[in-house]
Structure 1
Amino acid sequence: MAQLNNLISWWWEVRNNNNKFTMSLVTISVLIFAILWYKFKYLSFKNGLPSLPPGPRSLPIVGFLPFLGPELNKQFTNMARTYGPIFKFYVGTKLHVIINTPELAKVVVRDQDETFANHNLTIAASIITYGGQDIAWANNSSHWRNLRKMFVHEVLSNKNLDACSPFRRNEVRKTIKNVYSKIGTAVNISEIAFSTETNVITNMVWENYSSDNGANGTQLGVELQMLASKIVELLGTPNLSDFFPSLAWFDVQGVAREMKKQLKKLEELLNNIIDDRIKYNSRRTEDGVKHEVKKDFLQVLLDLKDQKDATSLNFFQIKALLMDIMVAGTETTTTMIEWTMTEILKNHNVMKRVQEELSEIVGINNIVEEFHLAKLKYLDATIKETSRLHPVAPLLIPRSPSKTCIVGGYMIPKGCNVFLNVWSIQRDPRYWDNPQEFNPERFLSYEDANKWDNSGNNLNFFPFGSGRRLCPGLPVAEIMQKYILASFFHSFDWSLPNGEKHDVSEKFGITLKKLKPLIAIPSPRLPNLSLYV
């Protein structure tokens, strides 16, 4: 401010002294500056550099930050009506570009997928992933490709998923037994689904850890749910330190400090599991001979640690990968199960059709088995319709182009944040009839049902992403969502507590959670009560 006052005083003094030479020099300087700015801003576009996308006016320094609301998915959808299907705004020094149509999304995830394969690592994400050494946040590199290939091959191969089928069956049966013990009382759907998912994944990743160490699955599930929920909340918190790097040292909002606390808690859990496995491996040597044991995913990772080639891993990378599985795998699947149950309970005709299909395919005197799942077409359509209206990651993880490129005729600078507004695309009336209506039948009426899978093949519907950054945990997530929901609705009838109303209010973050947890009361549906034990 003092400098500005000095400049104004100097300019006023020059005018009063009628110094023609100085006035002329200043005038010429201003004209030259204006001409240079004009050439940079406009004439350079003639040399093949298009303009940035349109967008709202911003305030100095802070940019558009003061105008951002708590529900960005809805706000960005409304802004697209004003500025078009692709628009931009600044927050601090960071440029953000929002894409709201499948045609433009195709340019990002297909036509220029390699350019947009990086993720912009936030401070919170950097802390919890040891600087981006996991699958979700790591940039497109040989390390990331090796991690993803190993994860898909060792954990999510068809052979391994089939081998883990007994784990899933046992845990789902335990859950049904648990719910049966709560007949007539209120059940927190998120908590019980999370516990089931946690036990399945822990058995896939480090088989029998819970039983071998005396820590029961329920306790582990509760601990992990608290950790996962807090970590996801911090990942979705807008952090001033990301927008204004010069403020990062101050950690004004305490995001970095809080994420370090969560990392410490998660490390304690993971370190105990890893140390126990290393001690167990050392005890397996008898008479100098190492006995063969069945390898779970943790053992695969530990074996890779000792290799000296491109596939070798260090302890930080191992823990970052385990964090992805335990946090992202459990939190997203649980959120989707809760949303689907919410919509089914809210729409009585949908619940009736779901249960009629289960009675026909499974049989009222049988329990749900995994081989039934492929035949449950209406339940599958119901889950997809839920994913359409309530995508778990409404803006996905923002992409960051590795070089300046063109999308929709506009220049997208290297290193900016690019958001794909999946929430908006999947509710757009140009692509969906009555988009606000919950109607699972829309996914049964299309001629080619394969076009509407979860693999991002149809960019009118890609709740789990598309291209190189498609969610790698999709296969196990699909199985668990359908298996738990089928078992819940085949074994029980569900109702809301007296006086409770159906609520689909959303809580926006990096994941789209229910604002209020779903609490429901089960009652037995099967005539043979021995099926519950």
Structure 2
Amino acid sequence: MALDISLLRELIAATILFFVTRYFIRSLLKKSKQKLPPGPRGWPVVGALPLLGSMPHVTLAKLAKKYGPVMYLKMGTCSMVVASTPDAARAFLKTLDLNFSNRPADAGATHLAYNSQDMVFADYGPRWKLLRKLSNLHMLGGKALEDWSQVRAVELGHMLRAMCESSRKGEPVVVPEMLTYAMANMIGQVILSRRVFVTKGSESNEFKDMVVELMTSAGIFSIGDFIPSIAWMDLQGIARKMKELHKRWDVLLTKMMVEHAATAHERKGKPDFLDLIMANRENSDEEKLSLTNVKALLLNLFTAGTDTSSSIIEWALAEIMKNPKILKKAHDEMDKVIGRNRRLEESDIPKLPYLQAICKETFRRHPSTPLNLPRVSTQACEINGYYIPKNTRLSVNIWAIGRDPDVWENPLDFTPERFLSGKNAKIDPRGTDFELIPFGAGRRICAGTRMGIVLVEFILGSLIHSFEWMLPHGGGELNMDETFGLALQKAVPLSAMVRPRLAPTAYVS
């Protein structure tokens, strides 16, 4: 009997060894057939993380020149694929769009966006669809944008008059602070029926600082996101800073909602965005939005709604100040179409092709989001003959696409004329032409795409039309360095002297 048991044990051990060996052999054979895209080898354990540096969009663009338009990087224990050409972006964001419709659960989504309870980081599903639907219907869609056009005009008037006062005093205008103040008030009027900041000062500057800090910290490649087992150590101190910033935002948003609820009787028959969201928190699929979802949505609208458009306008003004011929050409077009006795109106914009070309060239040269917000594959898939594993993060290098010499002639030059004729004349930045996708594309395209384009064209056009623009202190070299984040900021905020060029009556209303 003892002999039989011994033989049985040996037989079981041999059987297990056989199946384990066969499993590994099959796995190796399977892997050999599943060819990953090319990419840098990286370091042990941390992979390619140390290669990215402080300007990941620039590093990834350089690596793509060596490894190709679809590039694979091992980032810690995670996989990441980077698309760096229009064709590669189209393959991921159109052909494979559904498979890449979710976001990875990273530190920004967890610590800033109420654990992905917002619209930007939420999983693709019923709650995200409800948030998107309500936002489009009541604020971001075409009809909603038309309904609050007067709000934009009034708030812009406040900004222009403040700039005239700075000019009278001989003081420079700090462009990003001015823009954030005006845009926050525009959005506040729509969401809350009131200006967020009554006067420009320390409170509005703190808001600007909070917006920039959120967009910058959320764009950092956190070690804990790519090596989850050590996330608790918070080696870069990112999680701690995010949690502190989140508390500040939560206090502000909670205060806004409490004050808004207390004044509900004043809006009888005239509901604003927040009234409508609170009244329609359920949909036909029985999906219900919590108060946390509503706060997270407000966070999206106030941060992305101010910072991305603000940075685009700031970059555009910096470029035209570097190129006086562009400023003169824009002034000539506007003087011919509008004259100097009134301000630019939104209805004028379709008649101003050179202004629209300046906006498109800025979207190309300085995309507000250099790397699209990350997506993650739900299932394994294949692209260009390469195998993409399940749970692979996707980054589309929008910055690299805008500077690709195979797509754009003299891509490092700021040349609005490239959009006035030829093959580029009909290119649209709304996500259908993958040569120019500043707002992304596909199901997860930025929900505020329409609003962003309207704000950039109207505000930038008004600033160009209303003023002459000069560098303070007699000029000098304009710093055009970038600071990486979810939004691409100027490293040195633009400060400028302005001189009114319209009739005094044009600034009154």
Alignment check: 8 A CA contact 2:313 2:460 kept: yes
Does 2:417 correspond to 1:434? Answer: no
Q: Do the aligned partners of 2:134 and 2:277 also contact (CA within 8 Å) in 1?
A: no
Deviates more, 1:317-326 or 1:97-106: 97-106
CA shift at 1:159, angstroms?
Answer: 2.8
Q: Which structure has the bigger radius of gyration?
A: 1
3-state SS in 1 of match to 2:394: strand
- In structure 2, C-alpha distance between the alignment counterparts of 1:269 and 1:146, rounded to whole Å: 24
Q: 1:307 to 1:385 in 2, by over 3 A?
A: closer
SS at structure 2 position matched to 1:467: coil
| Letter matched to residue 186 of structure 2 | V
Query: 1:33 and 1:346, CA in 2 relative to 1: closer, same or farther beyond 3 A?
Result: farther
Distance 1:248 1:76 in 2: 24
CA distance in structure 2 between the aligned counterparts of 1:486 and 1:459, rounded to whole angstroms: 25
Q: CA deviation at 1:277?
A: 2.3
Q: CA deviation at 1:493?
A: 0.5
1:67-106 to structure 2, matched below 5 A, reads: 67-106=51-90
CA–CA distance in structure 2, aligned partners of residues 372 and 156 of structure 1: 21
- The answer to whether 1:256 aligns with 2:239 is yes
Specify the alignment match of 1:40 in structure 2.
27
Aligned counterparts, 1:293-442, within 5 A = 293-305=269-281, 310-442=286-418
Matched with 1:138 is 122
In the alignment, which residue of structure 2 is the partner of 1:199?
185
User: Which amino acid counterpart does residue 394 of structure 1 have in structure 2?
Assistant: P
What secondary structure sits across from 2:100 in the alignment? coil
CA distance in 1, matches of 2:195, 2:405: 49
Question: SS at the partner of 1:97?
Answer: strand
- Does residue 462 in structure 1 map to residue 437 in structure 2? yes
Answer whether contact 1:237 1:509 (CA < 8 A) is retained. yes
Cα deviation, 1:110-153, whole Å, max 9, x if unaligned, reads: 11111111111211221221111111111111111121111111
Query: Please, which of 475, 479, 493 is the counterpart of residue 517 of structure 1?
Result: 493
Secondary structure class of the residue paired with 2:74:
strand
- Give the direction of change, closer, same or farther, for the CA distance of 1:121–1:37 in structure 2 (3 Å limit): same
Tell me the equivalent position of 1:242.
225
Distance 1:441 1:233, change over 3 A: same
Give distance in 2, aligned partners of 1:303 and 1:177.
37
Unaligned runs of 5+ in 1: 1-29, 285-290
Moved more, 252-261 or 343-352: 252-261
Structure 2 CA distance for aligned equivalents of residues 157 and 81 of structure 1: 38
**Structure 2: distance between partners of 1:175 and 1:432:** 36
Kept after mapping to 2: 8 A contact 1:391/1:463: yes
Whether contact under 8 Å (1:199, 1:217) holds in the other structure is no
Answer yes or no: is 1:50 the counterpart of 2:34. yes
SS, match of residue 115 in structure 1: helix
Give the SS at the match of 2:469: strand
| Identical-residue share of aligned pairs (%) | 33
Q: 1:375 and 1:121 mapped to 2: Cα distance?
A: 44
Deviation at 1:363, TM superposition (A): 0.6
Residues 70 and 229 (structure 1 numbering): CA distance in 2 closer, same or farther, change over 3 Å? same
1:140-219 correspondence runs (5 A): 140-183=124-167, 184-208=170-194, 210=196, 215-216=198-199
Structure 2 residue identity aligned to 1:478: I
- 1:65 is displaced (CA, Å) by 2.2
Shift of 1:388: 0.5
Q: Tell me, yes or no, if the aligned pair for 2:189 and 2:195 is still in contact at 8 Å.
A: yes
1:467 deviates by 0.9
Q: How many angstroms apart in 1 are the aligned matches of 2:42 and 2:161?
A: 57
For residue 220 of structure 1, report the CA deviation from its aligned partner. Answer: 5.3
Are 1:210 and 1:216, in contact at CA under 8 Å, matched by a contact in 2?
A: no
Q: Is the 8 A contact 1:86 1:100 kept in 2?
A: yes
User: Normalization by structure 1: what TM-score?
Assistant: 0.87
The 3 A distance-change label for structure 1 pair 310 and 389 is: same
The SS at the match of 2:71 is strand
Cross-structure match for 1:279: 262
Output the CA distance in 2 between the equivalents of 1:399 and 1:146. Answer: 20
Deviates more, 1:153-162 or 1:94-103: 153-162
Q: How many residues align?
A: 490
Distance in 1 (CA, whole Å) between partners of 2:63 and 2:424 is 33
Distance in structure 1 (CA, Å) of the matches to 2:23 and 2:282: 59
CA distance in 2, matches of 1:431, 1:196: 36
Residues 232 and 447 (structure 1), Cα distance of their counterparts in 2 relative to 1, 3 Å cut = closer
The 5 A counterparts of 1:12-27 are none
Q: 1:18 maps to which residue?
A: none
